[in-house]
Amino acid sequence: VTDFVFDAAREARIGLPEAVYAEGKSVAQLAAILADATAHGRSLLLTRLDAAKRTQLDAPLDYDALSRTAYFGTPRPLAGPARVAVVSAGTSDAPVAHEAARTLRFHGEDVRIVGDVGVAGLWRLLARVDELRAMPVLIVAAGMDAALPSVVAGLVGGAIVAVPTSVGYGVAAGGRAALDALLASCAPGLAVVNIDNGYGAACAALRILNAPR
């Protein structure tokens, strides 16, 4: 039922094991992939797994509905205190922020979650600047005008991975306005990933933390 060929050497090559992007895969295809993982004794991270498919999958999964992620098998143990902060502007950005957080924890990196600090109420962000300044990497998720990452980048010196979200309507719908605002940011050194790509932001953070020195 599937052509899936697990890229088993990927972790050795680039430090990141292959994950399973569940959107567009059938339940039968996913079941075959999990069976293959069982046979080879591999743990797996699944992303974009909606609740209906999870119910149909007869497999032991640590499933999180908000982020639509699942852990199959055992995640890597947490290496120590959080080195990544996941910052988001509003409650609607939570699914993306939590996809990033769950991805990081699966790979053994704890995270600090800092939610609902959008710039319309700037005091909420300013109250937490010291905390954010201490973090090596910040993932900042924001939709609509995506002003938050620009403001954060003017306040802290850590590496920043900005994730535009598809939250909003009218010109904001789909996230292109947020994406373009982030790419055009007046604050220096923002690095950007695809719209709603919490998983990719986490991978970028892992590359930064685990890069050769």
Residue list 176-205, contact with a copy of itself (CB under 8 A): 176-197, 199-200, 203-204
User: What's the closest the beta carbon of residue 53 comes to a copy of itself, in angstroms?
Assistant: 15
Give least dist CB 74 to a copy of itself, A. Answer: 21
Burial of 115: CB neighbours in 10 Å, binned 0-12, 13-18, 19+: middle
User: Looking at 34-42, 50-58, 73-81, 167-175, which segment touches a copy of itself (CB under 8 A)?
Assistant: 167-175
User: 131-148 burial string, b = 16+ CB within 10 Å, else e?
Assistant: ebeebebbbbbbbbbbbb
User: Who contacts 12 (Cβ-Cβ below 8 Å, separation ≥6)?
Assistant: none
Return all residues near 170 (Cβ < 8 A) that are at least 6 apart. Answer: none
Kindly indicate which of the ranges 23-31, 35-43, 51-59, 69-77 contains the residues binding a copy of itself, using the contact rule CB under 8 A.
23-31
- Asked if 48 contacts 21 with a C-beta cutoff of 8 angstroms, the reply is yes
State yes or no: residue 5 binds a copy of itself (CB under 8 A): yes
- Could you say which residues in the range 96-155 bind a copy of itself, by CB under 8 A? 115-116, 118-124, 133-137, 144-147, 150-151, 153-155
Question: Which residues inside 46-105 make contact with a copy of itself, applying CB under 8 A?
Answer: 48, 88-92, 94
